[in-house]
Amino acid sequence: MNMIHRDLKGKEKYPFLTGVNFLTKDLCYDENTDEKIRKEGESMAKSFAEIKNTHLPTLTQYVPVVDRVHGDNHPEFHEVRAIFENMVEKINAAGDDKPDLDQEFARLREVTGNYTIPGDVCETYAAVYHMLAELDRAYQAQ
């Protein structure tokens, strides 16, 4: 499903969704998840810092909303929110240094089924998983 939303003038309304839609084919990993994430991250042009700076503000806005809207039907998202909030604290505390997020990303992969998007959720929920997966790959590549 590769949907591009446009306003009345034909301009893309949510360009970040187009940028992350290509990830859907890579959401289900096998037992080699960590190695795949590491290899894919090595080939990506953007660093963890760049992706963090791009996605963190959006994730900070979206994660609480997705939790409120979908948490009753997807209680695992309550844990995603808690893990994400812990990650933000560590990122902020680390400043310019690389934060230690290995356990958080491992737990996110476990809780989300390697960022597998449920079939009954909105595009914002999907965007959160896409951004978290991209952040994870960039982190593992460093």
Q: Which of 88, 87, 123, 92 is nearest to 106 (CA)?
A: 87
| Residues 23, 136: Cα–Cα separation, whole Å | 13
Q: One digit per residue, pLDDT tens: the chain, 142 residues?
A: 444 555 566 666 555 554 444 444 444 445 555 665 555 545 445 789 999 999 999 999 999 999 999 999 999 999 999 999 999 999 999 988 889 999 999 999 999 999 999 999 999 999 999 999 999 999 999 8
- The DSSP annotation for 35-68 comes to HHHHHHHHH-SS-HHHHHHHHHHHHHHHHHHHHH
pLDDT at 137: 94
Q: Which residue has the tokens 């037992």?
A: 31
